[in-house]
Structures are given as structure tokens and as C-alpha cells.
Amino acid sequence: QPDQALAVLQEAVTLLQGTARGDDPALGAARVELARQHLLEGSTAGRERATTLAQQVLATCTGSACTAGRAAAQQVQQALQNSQPVR
């Protein structure tokens, strides 16, 4: 199931990237959830992808509607630094 979740989340992010603005909270939320899934994967590639996604959220999702997404992206970054999975 984790592979299936990754595939569905990746599809959602890809779709939103093509239709939503970069600062769209839904895009930020999808990126954060995909980052969490990649982090849970535990691989080096997964950690790198999680880092990239969290950085994208922090760089592009800047409005007040993005507060939760930004906080979640910061949690992902902190977990990456501490080498711990994020819930």
C-alpha cells in the first residue's frame, strides 16, 4: 500500500502543478503529504525527494492559507535533520 499511496500522491501533485498556482494551499498540502510518504520510505532517494518537496512548499506557499502547509513542511525538514519519520 505505501507504493500505491506514493503513486496517488505523486499523481495529485503533478495534476495540481499543471492547474494550480504555486501558492495554492492544496498544492502545498499535497506536496507535504508526498514528502511525508517519501520520508517514511526511508531510502536516500526518498529523503532527497522529501527535502525538495518541503523546500518547494516553503518557497512558494506564502499566503495565510498556507500556514498549516508551511508548518508541516518545517516538520518534515526537522525530521530529516533528526533522521526521524514524520506522522
Over the Cα atoms of the chain, what is R_g? 12
For residue 76, give the C-alpha cell: 518534515
* Cα-based angle 37, 39, 44 (whole degrees, multiple of 5): 130
50 and 36 Cβ atoms separated by less than 8 Å: yes
Q: In this predicted structure, what is the pLDDT of residue 87?
A: 58
pTM over 0.85: yes
φ and ψ at residue 85, rounded to 5 degrees: -70, 155
Cα angle vertex 19, ends 14, 20, to 5°?
Answer: 95
| Amino acid letter, 54 | A
Confidence of residue 20 (pLDDT cuts 50, 70, 90): very high
